[in-house]
Structure 1
């Protein structure tokens, strides 16, 4: 009995010493105390170590917290306590109600930061120049305001993703740099103004939509110096004339639609037989719509937006494209290969149909693919044991 008491005493003393010596332990408990008002982090106990594997969303390396994924846990308040986690590589707090973000210089080793769909406000987080290893920076769907520090962001050589859509940022997108490593970019739904820099014009129109004062390629209209008295006098078409043109076009359009509809009806009534063969036959031209094509066993997502909004971690880059580990909102994990080679839709559909039908225990199954003019996304089952590269190089 005495020996058992001694063992228990030693164990308690060891845990106490561990908590006192490990700053990550106290930082996480402080964050829980200030932000977890609904007990979503009940597994975070002061009687266990954060790196024991029992703490929700916590991953460690060499006894230090490196990954923290706490999406959709109804967390509120500030992230100030997390500033005491200097070894963080990945921080994901998507879809909570957090309202205060710390200086980014607290996380010098950070590579992935996901803070979308919260209540963060104020200017762009300070200290962005200190996170030199950052690859993905997602601050979308918040209440950030002020100017975007494009000069500092373009100096981050490893930055691949910058998503700032649906905030209240103002100012311009100009910077001293004429290029960047960024290939996933979105600032739609803000209050930006001025001309889009040439190096950003490679991104689609959707990346800049809903910015009333933004102009230039790819928005389809050039920038001007603003209306002056001279330009107003020289305006070729008055508002009244524009209204007349719109009404005329509308009437003409209705007439054309009725005519085409009547012709189509007559044509279809004459060729009613064989319609199903034309619509369902395999000899037709491939569809040109950008849509997700899913194969047997695909679950956890139904459209490409589900993948783009999910937490993602870069696994590796090759000559063809990059591979990511994507954690879906429902908890499912897939591997996504992003290919940017210029391939034709007809070639892609045929090849993907053959690959998607392959089923073998030694072949990773293709679950879905998405093809657009700019890229090809291949969705595979995720194998948690890692890659040959990670086994060889750590």
Structure 2
């Protein structure tokens, strides 16, 4: 009886303790132990978790609600090795798990299936392998799943259909093979299986996604090319197959056929006539060169070669823009050109009349002008020096008719007029929203001028390293990441024009900005026009180590230069010799040395450190920059991959923010 009484007392005591002390504390203790076990298993250079702190809710990357760990964000912290089993079985309240941009290997642990509340799983940019694990299909609340840029193999399972709430499914850049299963996910918004070994046709329900979602495979069907044996009518939305009755009804009489033939011939003749007129009109516009007679102006003194901050085609936000000698600088160059050449019938000049041309590309109306301007307009324009760059001096010219243009006066052009025209025609044909368009050019024996759209904000170099006093617009993460993406898209477009097409002179002073801080790449295609003496040592901070001739820069060397540009954008520091009269640093080496000492936050510009909520994205972009600036060309990504990475970075961070807002909204409703 005594023993029975003691047992009853003990049971009551346990029940009282459970009622008084919430189970959440016991759960938090087990979660704390699981996180410490994870850290000891896979390391991590920035996991400075204080083991003496009883609550993991104060650790970096850990978020808690009601005494439970609900989010774990550990991107780009050098995690490596396999994720051991027995960790996630104690983290069952997780709703978001982000282990992206690390070096994790092997398959996923089976106990991840215990996290049945998981909504967002970000595992991209690791070395995970094996087939897509079946455990994922036991996570019914999964909304965002990103397994891209790993080593997963096997097929794309039909079991994904079990994840009825799935909105994002990224599987690109793995080793998946075979056909894509018929997926029917009504809420799917983002899908990508590009750069795998998949074959067969694209399933009907996935044909709504763009081509980029399927490139790099052996797939066919919309939105790609039709599969062999398919025809356009078979893939039409209706998919109707006409029966015999319909065929009979569709037979036309002989008179109807004759009428159709006659009508077609008439339409064809009218179309040919219209095309002839259109071609004549286009040819007259494309080569609309304004003949300028001899301009009898006194030859003024041209601006000297005094050092100026390298802004190239765009002033800084606080430039003075003073005129020289009371005479406009652009007019000075044009007057010298006209005075020196106007009375000569040069072999270079085209025509025995001695007149010279200002040749426009495409629509001759420039920068919104109602009519084309000519050399006489440039002579009368008020202008200011913008800067002296690698290929010449740039001026801002304000024409009397209204438009503002940037005029670059080239130096050290050693090629013939015929070769110059051939090369500059290809530059003028470049058309992309992230390039500064070349509007017109002038060629004579003594002067070569290029006319561009004027970019009002100026260059990225001026914005990063110019005035940092009162009134400066702070460059937040949104602006900087947007500039990085715009510049990457512009360079990627250049590379897409051919395997031998590169920029050759990528640096922050050649990234110009519109009023809305959209990036425009300038000075493309000019490296092949000038001699080697026009590439001074001050670009060495951007130059890839394998480059010996600045006129022969590969696309991988462009990627290196862009990597240095990204480091400059993130750190706020100028690379070696990039700015005159100011000491720079070897950015790639400096960043690697700081990161190696586990002081990653010390790398970033102080203006960026005030935005703590985007530190993960900053670290990811930093890692991408380091990859681009790898010493060996074959270790660098392509610009296409760089654009994809930055787009994904910006998109996923936005989605995570939206998911967090949605999660908070859902919790409020509950």
Scaled by the length of structure 2, the TM-score of the pair is 0.35
- Counterpart position of 1:148: 156
User: Does the 8 Å contact 2:434/2:486 carry over to 1?
Assistant: yes
Instruction: Decide which of 114, 126, 136 is 1:128's aligned counterpart.
Output: 136
- Counterpart position of 1:27: 34
Between 260-269 and 136-145, report the one with greater CA deviation.
Answer: 260-269
Q: How far off its partner does 1:40 sit?
A: 2.3
Residue 47 in structure 1 maps to residue 68 in structure 2: no
- Counterpart position of 1:355: none
2: distance between equivalents of 1:127 and 1:391? 26
Q: Specify the SS of the correspondent of 1:73.
A: coil
- Give matches, 1:170-181, under 5 Å: 170-175=177-182, 178-181=184-187
Instruction: Decide which of 290, 299, 312 is 2:479's aligned counterpart.
Output: 299
2: distance between equivalents of 1:137 and 1:290? 32
- Counterpart position of 1:218: 223
Instruction: Decide which of 83, 87, 90 is 1:82's aligned counterpart.
Output: 87
- Counterpart position of 2:202: 196
Classify 1:47/1:71 alpha carbon distance in 2 versus 1 (closer, same or farther; 3 Å). Answer: same
Greater share of helix: 2
Q: How far off its partner does 1:278 sit?
A: 2.9
Residue 163 in structure 1 maps to residue 343 in structure 2: no
User: Does the 8 Å contact 1:122/1:145 carry over to 2?
Assistant: yes
Classify 1:161/1:390 alpha carbon distance in 2 versus 1 (closer, same or farther; 3 Å). Answer: closer
2: distance between equivalents of 1:47 and 1:178? 47
- Counterpart position of 1:268: 289
- Counterpart position of 2:579: none
Counting matched residue pairs gives 271
Question: After superposition, what is the alpha-carbon deviation per residue over 1:138-194, rounded to whole angstroms, capped at 9, x for unaligned?
Answer: 000011101111x2112311100000000000121122x555321100000000111
2: distance between equivalents of 1:147 and 1:273? 56
Residue 119 in structure 1 maps to residue 133 in structure 2: no
2: distance between equivalents of 1:59 and 1:97? 23
- Counterpart position of 1:363: none
Question: After superposition, what is the alpha-carbon deviation per residue over 1:207-256, rounded to whole angstroms, capped at 9, x for unaligned?
Answer: 00000x2111111232459xxxxxxxxxxxxxxxxxxxxxxxxxxxxxxx
Unaligned stretches of 5+ residues in structure 2: 1-20, 231-280, 292-356, 372-430, 436-456, 458-472, 489-612, 621-650
- Counterpart position of 1:344: none
2: distance between equivalents of 1:283 and 1:108? 64
Q: How far off its partner does 1:269 sit?
A: 4.2
Classify 1:206/1:19 alpha carbon distance in 2 versus 1 (closer, same or farther; 3 Å). Answer: same
Instruction: Decide which of 174, 187, 208 is 2:193's aligned counterpart.
Output: 187
Question: After superposition, what is the alpha-carbon deviation per residue over 1:303-345, rounded to whole angstroms, capped at 9, x for unaligned?
Answer: 2899xxxxxxxxxxxxxxxxxx98762179xxxxxxxxxxxxx
2: distance between equivalents of 1:66 and 1:31? 16
Classify 1:328/1:24 alpha carbon distance in 2 versus 1 (closer, same or farther; 3 Å). Answer: closer
Classify 1:263/1:331 alpha carbon distance in 2 versus 1 (closer, same or farther; 3 Å). Answer: same
Instruction: Decide which of 350, 362, 368 is 1:281's aligned counterpart.
Output: 368
Q: Specify the SS of the correspondent of 1:27.
A: helix
Task: Compare CA radii of gyration and give the structure with the larger one.
Answer: 2
- Give matches, 1:203-352, under 5 Å: 203-211=209-217, 213-223=218-228, 266-270=287-291, 272=358, 278-281=365-368, 298-302=478-482, 303=485, 329-330=617-618
User: Does the 8 Å contact 2:94/2:117 carry over to 1?
Assistant: yes
Q: Specify the SS of the correspondent of 1:120.
A: strand
Question: After superposition, what is the alpha-carbon deviation per residue over 1:247-270, rounded to whole angstroms, capped at 9, x for unaligned?
Answer: xxxxxxxxxxxxx99977742345
Q: How far off its partner does 1:86 sit?
A: 0.9
2: distance between equivalents of 1:63 and 1:72? 26
1: distance between equivalents of 2:176 and 2:76? 25
Classify 1:189/1:24 alpha carbon distance in 2 versus 1 (closer, same or farther; 3 Å). Answer: same
Q: Specify the SS of the correspondent of 2:481.
A: coil
User: Does the 8 Å contact 1:91/1:113 carry over to 2?
Assistant: yes
2: distance between equivalents of 1:110 and 1:192? 28
Q: How far off its partner does 1:299 sit?
A: 2.6
Residue 56 in structure 1 maps to residue 60 in structure 2: yes
Scaled by the length of structure 1, the TM-score of the pair is 0.58
Greater share of strand: 1
Q: How far off its partner does 1:279 sit?
A: 3.1
1: distance between equivalents of 2:127 and 2:60? 23
Classify 1:91/1:192 alpha carbon distance in 2 versus 1 (closer, same or farther; 3 Å). Answer: same
Question: After superposition, what is the alpha-carbon deviation per residue over 1:63-104, rounded to whole angstroms, capped at 9, x for unaligned?
Answer: 111100000100111223532211110000111010132234
Unaligned stretches of 5+ residues in structure 1: 1-13, 226-259, 307-324, 333-375
Question: After superposition, what is the alpha-carbon deviation per residue over 1:336-391, rounded to whole angstroms, capped at 9, x for unaligned?
Answer: xxxxxxxxxxxxxxxxxxxxxxxxxxxxxxxxxxxxxxxx99x89x89x9699579
User: Does the 8 Å contact 1:44/1:56 carry over to 2?
Assistant: no
User: Does the 8 Å contact 2:63/2:72 carry over to 1?
Assistant: yes
Classify 1:185/1:57 alpha carbon distance in 2 versus 1 (closer, same or farther; 3 Å). Answer: same
- Counterpart position of 2:98: 92
